[in-house]
Every structure is written in structure tokens, then in C-alpha cells.
Structure 1
Amino acid sequence: MCCILEAISLTMKNRVDEMCAELGITLDNIIISGGGSNSTLLMQIFADVFGIPATRNEVNGSASLGAAICVAVALEVYPNYNTATKKMVRTRDQFEATLKNNILYSRINQEVYRDITATTDTNLKKAATIF
């Protein structure tokens, strides 16, 4: 189970890194939402893989909370999205990255994980015709 969570986190890290590079930004915190954010293990792995704090909110259904924020702004309960977000989003807890783990995950990502699909895709395409 742990390796699946690590694979999810490493894949997310690589995609987020690509987006940040394209936008010319860096992150100092990530917010994890959805059912997976209920897992302490998942939260710690994300913090360790990203090398920055991982936060989860009291309400982990980001789609429903985002919709509520939009409604609050549309009904002029709050004057703008920044105010609505500050009033409606409450942080539950935060997980700090463990340096030793971050160094290991970075090495795994750089030396193995980033290139794994170049090796597996050909075989998976062959397997798809069988299954």
C-alpha cells in the first residue's frame, strides 16, 4: 500500500514541478484535499516527496467548499474570493517534511521514477493487446 501512495505522490510532484516551471513559480506549501487527505501516512509522504509542508483543511471536500465560496461571493456575503476563502477555509493540521526522507525520495525520483514509463510503456502496450 505504501508504494502506491509513494507513486501517487511522485507522479503529482513531477506534474506540479512542470506546471510551476511553466508558470515561473515555486511553492512553499501544498494543500491536500479529498478522501486521501484523511490518511496521516499519505499526508506525510506528500510532505516528504515535495520537501515542503503539506496541509489539510477541516473540510476536505474541495469541490463542495469551492462551490460554497463561489456562492458566497455571488450573493455578496463576502466582497471577493480572497475574503471568502479567508473566512470559510479552516486549516486542520500541517505535516512538515522530513529532510532525510525528502533526500531519499528526490534520489528515487531523479534516478529511477521519472524515467520508468520509458521502460514500461512499450511492454504495457503489448500487454493491452493480450488482455
Structure 2
Amino acid sequence: MRKIMLVCCFLLGLTAISRAQGGGQRMSPEDRAKQLQTTLKLTDDQTGKITAILKVQATKMDSVRTAANGDRTAMRTAMGPIRTAANDQIKALLTPDQATAYQKMLDEQRARMQQGGGGGGGGGN
């Protein structure tokens, strides 16, 4: 009985550790586009175009992460314009109602980040 309890505690600990480490993982461009499709009620055409924009953004941001070599200040400075450009491209594809809802999402994510609450699944601000 003690061995079973020990194994259960061990597995529970591993699960907790993996969840804690997984909390910082970024969503894939495809997952982010699907999330936006649901939230903003995007058409399939809009979703496809937004997925392409997010893939380009992810590639550029990965390059910045590699080049910055762990320097968070350099990463933030370089990533700001990349995010802004992607957000502007996405807004151009949206209807006025969708663009308003998207901007509200970005504002809420920015507020959470400033309060230290995380980016809500990959950010996009």
C-alpha cells in the first residue's frame, strides 16, 4: 500500500512540474488562428490568411529569440514592431466589428501582461 501511495505522489509531482513548465509554451500559429476564428467568428478565408500572417510572425520572432541570445530587453525591443505589423495586417482582413473585438482582445492581453498575469495563450499585442 505504501508503494502505491509513493508512486501516486511521484506521478502527481511529475504532472505538476510538467504543467508548470508547459505554462510558458507558445501556441502554434494554427492554434492561434483557430482561437481567433472561434472568438471573432472568422470565415475560412480570413482564418487561412491570418494563419499565414501568424506563421511569418512566428518565424521572425524565433529569429529574434535566437539572435538576442536570452537578452529580454533586446527581444522586447525587436519584437514590438513585428507584433504591430502582424496586428495591422490582421486588422486589415477583419470587418469593422471583428476589428473592434480584436483590438479589445489585444488591450485585455496587454493589461494582463502589465499586471504580471501572462499573455493568455501566446499574446498577439
Q: Same fold (TM over 0.5)?
A: no
TM-score between the two structures when normalised by the length of structure 1? 0.26
TM-score between the two structures when normalised by the length of structure 2? 0.27
- Greater strand fraction, Structure 1 or Structure 2: 1
